[in-house]
Amino acid sequence: MRNFFASLFGALIGIFLAFFLIFIFVVGMVNSAVKSIKKDSTTITSSSSVLEIRLSHEIKERSPERSFNFKLDDNEKVFTENSGLNDIILDIQHAATDNSIKGIFLDLSDVPSGIATVENIRNELLKFKESHKFIIAYSSGYSQKSYYLASVADNVYLYPEGEIFMKGLSAQIMFYKKALDKLGIEVQVFRHGRYKSFVEPYILEKMSPDNKLQTRMLLTSVWDKMLGEIGASRNITVATLNELIDNLTVHTAQLAKENKFVDDLLYPDEVIDKIKTKLSLPATKNISFIGLDDYRETFTPSEYQSGIPKTPLSKIAIIYAYGDIVQGNGNGDDIGSKRISEAIQQARLDANVKAIVLRVNSPGGDALASDIIWREVDMAKKVKPVVVSMGDYAASGGYYIACDANEIVAEPNTITGSIGVFGLIPNAQGFLSDKLGITVDTVSTNTHAAAGSVLYPLMSSEAAVLQGGIENFYHTFLTRVADGRKLTTAQVDSIAQGRVWTGTQALQIGLVDTLGGMKMAIAIAAKKAHITSYTIEELPGMISPLRKLLSRFSGDDAESKILEKELGNMYEPVQELSKAIQMKGVQARMPYQLIIE
């Protein structure tokens, strides 16, 4: 009887899995058909259309596949924009020359993306204005980043009861030492770099003077650039902006208007009337708005990206490396050393690829994984030009994989540098013994067989070996940068020590060559390759939507989603602490994650 029920249960599971896989297969086919029909039929419905840009989603480097996305009506689509930075820039570029697009409507709230990403979009909007088409910005309330973006517009409008929350930049770091002390957990730290402050929360109760110095200089550099550009667009001096912000003068919508932060206070219907006036539309006619995702379906990106006639024998490969650096394949949201290395190798071996642009947006990660990627960059550089384009971050391991390129292009506010390494090994012996009453006994074949276990403190000889490994890798890091940047190791050491810099500062000290975005990096790559006609190939291939869907059924992903929902704003520090505990080997990571609101 027991075998009967076991067989029955197994059969039921098999049937369920079969139906599930069939369902996924059918959904994929239907979705592909819908996408195909949509792509063939998507057109701009008016010769006087307006590109509507909403950036309330996290802007990644590349747009994800638009699969398993069933939209029931046109009103829903504006809330589900999912464009990556590559396509946002492409859409704005194309709109500038598209006679059907008469202007851009920036419908803004918060912009939950890095400051360099926002800066990149703002710069493209500045170029768009050269087409003499209008840009109108509107929000019920601007955050600092969304206002920085909105300030580029010809007209900036605010809801009559809204606000602009300009307060300056600050960096807040949580320290865990006292909590760890109470738990009886000691974190054994190994590092090289006086500014390599990633480890500070585990061994200190507040920021070290060195960390405060670098953080203050970093924030000041970013803030000065933001205010300088806002002031230039709004015709307000930086001194006046700082005074207004320090005194919290602009705390109501009316005060924002009086102090020239906005042009007028309008309700949504009044903003629509303003746009109709720009388009010379009668009051009874609706505006033809088109969102970023749908607009991209109306033209062929591959033909437009080079801006010139395409030739199939000449390609520039753009290799996207974004997220934490890890060993192996990664999951598409991080930089898997195997996956990215294979992409670089593919571009290197392809005779039609004449140059490579490595797009780096990473705060670093596993040091060994970084070196594996560096090796592929070094090999590719010997065959064809390699140009690096930096996004929000190219720090520590992110800079490690970039430093050997022929030329490095960074945004002014790219967080870069952080040349330093560290390692962490928790010692939970006191926690287990004193707090839980758990003791541990061990049998080993050799003296140091249990070295690195969280159940024991390290012996002094073991600690010396680990610190020696840190020193060796730091020297390797210095050598990699010195060779790539044509500097001496002493020169690199003087600007290293784990210190982070903005792109503007990095240009001054020789860590980058030029300030600009992806478009400039591609142009430099083409020039170095001596080509004037080319197409763009994006690598590595995107992780399939089916694989991503299936990953949602895994326990780890489900637990993370639940934890994120329950903890809200506290999820990030908890996640960072969890990552730190699980780190293995030498790490080349930023000292902290800078979040600018």
**pLDDT digits 0-9 by tens, 514-528:** 999 999 999 999 999
Q: Give mean pLDDT, residues 95-117.
A: 94
Could you report the per-residue pLDDT of 88-97, keeping only the tens digit for each? 999 999 999 9
What residue has token string 């710069």?
123
Which of 527, 471, 438, 595 shows the shortest CA–CA distance to 110?
Answer: 595
pLDDT tens for 432-441 read: 889 899 989 8
What is the structure's pLDDT at 307?
Answer: 46
Q: Using one digit for the tens of pLDDT, what is the confidence trace for 170-216?
A: 888 889 999 999 999 999 998 888 888 888 999 999 999 999 999 99
The predicted-structure confidence for 484-521, as pLDDT tens digits, reads as follows 999 999 999 999 999 999 999 999 999 999 999 999 99
pLDDT at 5: 44
Which region among 279-288, 473-482, 552-561 has the lowest average model confidence (pLDDT)? 552-561
What are the domain boundaries of the chain? 46-166+250-298, 306-443+454-552+574-589
By DSSP bridging, strand 364-366 and strand 353-362 are unpaired
Specify the pLDDT at position 331.
83
CA–CA separation, 367 and 374 (whole Å): 10
How does DSSP assign 83-111, residue by residue? --HHHHHHHHHHHHH-TTEEEEEEE-S--
Asked if residue 23 has pLDDT above 50, the reply is no
Work out the angle at residue 64's Cα, subtended by the Cα atoms of residues 60 and 70, and round it to the nearest 5 degrees.
130
Percent of the chain with pLDDT over 90: 66
pLDDT of residue 399: 97
According to the model, what pLDDT value does residue 582 have? Answer: 60
Q: Are 24 and 50 in contact (CB under 8 A)?
A: no
Assigned token pair, 234: 């709004």
Domain 46-166+250-298 shares a fold with domain 306-443+454-552+574-589: yes
The tens digit of pLDDT for each residue in 390-405 reads 999 999 999 999 999 9
Residue of 60, 196, 257, 315 marked active site: 196
Query: With pLDDT > 70 as the criterion, what percentage of the chain qualifies?
Result: 79
Residue 227 has pLDDT above 90, yes or no: yes
Residue 468 has pLDDT above 70, yes or no: yes
Q: 25-64, pLDDT tens digit by residue?
A: 444 444 444 344 344 444 565 678 999 999 988 899 998 8
Report the alpha-carbon distance of residue 177 to residue 169 in Å, rounded.
26
Q: Give the residue, 43 or 70, on which the prediction is more confident.
A: 43
List, in order, residues 6 or more apart from 495 with CB less than 8 Å away.
Answer: 417, 419, 501, 509, 510, 511
**Taking the chain, what is the end-to-end CA distance rounded to the nearest angstrom?**
63
pLDDT at 300 over 70: yes
What is the pLDDT, as a whole number, of residue 64?
83
Q: Which of 62-76, 87-101, 149-163 has the lowest mean pLDDT?
A: 62-76
CB atoms within 10 A of CB 580: 18
With a cut of 80, say whether residue 316 has pLDDT above it.
yes
Mean pLDDT of 70-93: 70
In angstroms, rounded to a whole number, what is the distance separating the alpha carbons of residues 31 and 197?
A: 47
Name the CATH topology of 46-166+250-298.
2-enoyl-CoA Hydratase; Chain A, domain 1 (3.90.226)
Question: Model confidence over 118-153: pLDDT tens digits?
Answer: 999 999 999 999 999 999 999 999 999 999 999 999
Q: 23 vs 289, which has greater pLDDT?
A: 289
Mean pLDDT of 304-328: 77
**Nearest to residue 88, comparing CAs of 519, 503, 389?**
519
Is 196 a catalytic site residue?
yes
- Which residue type occupies 139? S
Q: How far is CA 317 from CA 297, 314, 347, 388, in A?
A: 22, 10, 6, 12
Mean pLDDT of the chain: 85
Confidence of residue 583 (pLDDT cuts 50, 70, 90): low
Residues 6+ apart with CB under 8 A from 547: none
* Mean pLDDT value across residues 365-389: 97
| Predicted confidence (pLDDT) at residue 406 exceeds the cutoff of 90 | yes
Model pLDDT, residue 36: 42
Given a cut of 90, whether residue 411 has pLDDT beyond it is yes
Residues 334 and 325: their CA atoms lie apart, in Å, by 6
In Å, how far are 58, 98, 111, 199, 557 from 114, measured between CA atoms? 9, 29, 9, 23, 24
pTM here is 0.84
pLDDT above 60 (res 268): yes
> Which residue in 107, 249, 240 sits closest to 166, CA to CA?
249
56 is catalytic: no
Choose the catalytic residue: 60, 396, 418, 548.
396
- Residue 278: pLDDT over 80: yes
Residue 242's CB is within 10 A of a number of other CB atoms, namely: 16
Domain 306-443+454-552+574-589, CATH class in plain words? alpha beta
Show Cβ contacts of residue 58 under 8 Å, excluding neighbours closer than 6 positions. 112, 113
Instruction: Measure the CA–CA gap between 2 and 427, rounded to whole angstroms.
Output: 47
Q: For 109, phi and psi rounded to 5 degrees?
A: -130, -110
